[in-house]
């Protein structure tokens, strides 16, 4: 994957003291931190501890990140290390004094965290692209991704849109989503993968 | 990964969007709010004092099961200053070395701060003992500013 220029820009703004840019980084990547903590089955208190530790480490070290584009990877690794630290601390002071490693849940390991990272980056890009859609598309897609997904008849009456135009509008909105620059880094180097799909229809 | 989004049909893209939005909705608002507050620690302009001694870690290194009454002691060291801490019964007592008057600020991770004065031989006392994680900032009368790493007692 190529580097996401928006991450680089955000990191630079944070280094310059921009609180808004910091908030945006937090919004984007909190789900990543959260999902890794959930993977280690930590309690809510421990998750809060990990979260605070991770974000403090980031705010103190953001100026030293050698590759700002690698921020999501840094967050994933740091979160994993903090989770393991908390699990070790919890078992180390176990009153029975059992060997610590036996008390640790199995480490789900770098591989799974790497999967979490890949999914989190795609998710963050999708949400960023989604947030920038026009209001009509945003409303329609918001409704369509509800669980359970509503029927076209329900969508039609909720949005005052003829049933027949829901399908084409949905397709147009999804195309806009695909074309978002946020998703560009997830597309193959050779352009046109999506265009082919589109014209082949 | 590139295959992931490029090769997605409309249905799959919509499903991916659903997952992305669900993943964000799963994160509690206060978890995000706490993370945003961490920005307050950006660009702290003080020399960092590293933890150079921790009685608890020393106990473990010796693999001894010490008595419950053993005293927790910590030492933080920067280039120009050492801060020694000891947990007493209901306070945290400390000393700045070399001995000198200083202003000590207790900075809990959860926000807020308390200011304490160290006397002319550098002695100070924090009461009550901070419950959560915190760090100490020490400003000597000569204007040297030092900050400890995070402390959990």
Whether A195 is in a domain gets the answer no
Is residue A182 situated within a structural domain? no
Q: What local confidence, expressed as pLDDT, does residue B112 receive?
A: 80
In a domain, A71, yes or no: yes
Give phi and psi for A152, each to the nearest 5.
-60, -35
Average pLDDT, consecutive stretches of 10 residues, N- to C-terminus, chain B (153 residues): 63 95 95 91 78 82 56 92 94 95 90 90 94 91 87 87
The reported pLDDT for the residue numbered A87 is 87
> Which long-range contacts (C-beta less than 8 Å, at least 24 apart) are formed by A54-61?
A54/A78, A54/A79, A54/A82, A55/A26, A55/B34, A55/B35, A55/B38, A56/B38, A56/B41, A56/B109, A56/B150, A58/A25, A58/B38, A59/A14, A59/A22, A59/B38, A59/B39, A59/B41, A59/B42, A60/B41, A60/B42, A60/B44
pLDDT 10s digits, A67-119: 888 899 999 999 999 999 888 877 655 545 444 555 455 565 677 888 889 99
Instruction: Quote the pLDDT of residue A198.
Output: 41
Low-confidence ranges of chain A (pLDDT < 70): 1-3, 91-109, 187-201
β-sheet bridge partners, residue A20: none
Q: Quick check: is A109 in a domain?
A: yes
For A156, phi then psi, to 5°, come to -60, -45
Residues 122 to 151 of A: which have CB under 8 A from any B CB? 122-124, 126-127, 130, 141, 144-145, 147
Q: Are A11 and A62 in contact (CB under 8 A)?
A: yes
Strand B114-118 to B102-108 pairing: antiparallel
Find residues 77-116 of chain A whose CB sits inside 8 Å of chain B.
Answer: 92, 97
Considering only CB atoms, which chain A residues are within 8 Å of B24?
A: 30-31, 123, 127
Task: Give CA–CA dist B118/A136, Å, rounded.
Answer: 63
Domains with residue ranges and CATH for chain B: 2-40 (no CATH), 43-148 (2.60.40)
Using the beta-carbon criterion (under 8 Å), do B2 and A187 form an inter-chain contact? yes
Q: Using alpha carbons only, how large is chain B's radius of gyration in Å?
A: 23
Put simply, the answer to whether A56 touches B23 (Cβ < 8 Å) is no
A/B interface, count of CB pairs below 8 Å: 121
Contacts of A121 in chain B (CB under 8 A): 1
**Looking at residue A189, what is its pLDDT?**
41
As a whole number of angstroms, the distance between CA A93 and CA A21 comes to 39
Closest CA to B112 of B86, B79, B134: B134
**Is-contact B49 B150, C-beta < 8 A?**
no
Q: Give residue A2's pLDDT.
A: 56
Q: What is the CATH number of the domain that holds A59?
A: 1.10.1740.10
Residue A28, in any domain of the structure: yes
What ipTM was assigned to the predicted interfaces of this complex? 0.82
Residue A181 lies in a domain: no
Residue A36 in any domain: the answer is yes
Model-wide pTM > 0.80: no
User: In total, how many domains does chain A have?
Assistant: 1
Q: Give residue A33's pLDDT.
A: 96
Q: CB of B91 within 8 A of CB of B85?
A: no
**Which of B7, B22, B38, B150 to mutate to probe the A interface, most A CBs <10 Å?**
B38
Name the residue range of residue A42's domain: 5-132
Give chain A positions within 8 Å (CB) of B42: 14, 17, 22, 59-60, 62
- Residue B48: what pLDDT? 83
Please tell me the predicted confidence (pLDDT) of residue B23. 94
**A188 falls within a domain:** no
Q: How many angstroms separate the CA of residue A67 from the nearest CA in chain B?
A: 19
């Amino acid at each position: 994957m190529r580097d996401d220029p928006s991450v680089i820009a955000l990191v630079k703004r944070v280094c310059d003291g921009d609180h808004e840019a910091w908030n945006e980084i937090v919004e984007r990547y909190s789900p990543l931190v959260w999902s890794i903590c959930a993977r280690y089955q930590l309690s809510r208190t421990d998750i809060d501890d990990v979260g605070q530790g991770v974000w403090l480490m980031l705010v103190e070290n953001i100026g030293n990140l050698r590759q700002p584009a690698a921020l999501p990877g840094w967050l994933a690794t740091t979160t994993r290390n903090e989770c393991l630290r908390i699990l070790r601390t919890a078992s180390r002071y176990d009153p029975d004094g059992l060997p610590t490693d036996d008390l640790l849940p199995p480490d789900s390991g770098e591989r799974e965290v790497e999967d979490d990272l890949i999914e989190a980056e795609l998710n963050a890009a999708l949400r960023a692209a989604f947030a920038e859609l026009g209001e009509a598309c945003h409303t329609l897609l918001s409704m369509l991704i509800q669980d359970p997904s509503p029927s076209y008849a329900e969508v039609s009456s909720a949005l005052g849109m003829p049933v027949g135009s829901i399908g084409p509008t949905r397709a147009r909105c999804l195309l806009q989503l695909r074309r978002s620059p946020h998703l560009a880094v997830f597309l193959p180097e050779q352009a046109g993968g999506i265009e082919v799909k589109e014209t082949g229809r | 990964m590139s295959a992931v989004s490029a090769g997605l049909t409309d249905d799959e893209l919509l499903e991916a969007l659903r997952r992305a939005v669900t993943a964000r909705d799963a994160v509690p608002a206060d978890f995000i709010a706490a993370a945003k507050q961490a920005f307050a620690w950006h660009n702290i302009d003080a020399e960092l004092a590293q933890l150079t001694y921790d009685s608890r870690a020393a106990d473990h290194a010796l693999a001894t099961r010490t008595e419950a009454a053993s005293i927790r002691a910590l030492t933080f060291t920067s280039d120009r200053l050492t801060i020694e801490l000891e947990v007493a019964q209901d306070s945290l007592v400390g000393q700045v070395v070399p001995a000198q008057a200083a202003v000590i600020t207790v900075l809990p991770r959860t926000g807020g701060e308390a200011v304490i004065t160290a006397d002319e031989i550098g002695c100070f006392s924090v009461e009550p003992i901070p419950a959560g994680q915190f760090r100490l900032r020490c400003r000597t009368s000569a204007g040297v500013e030092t900050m400890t790493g995070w402390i959990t007692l």
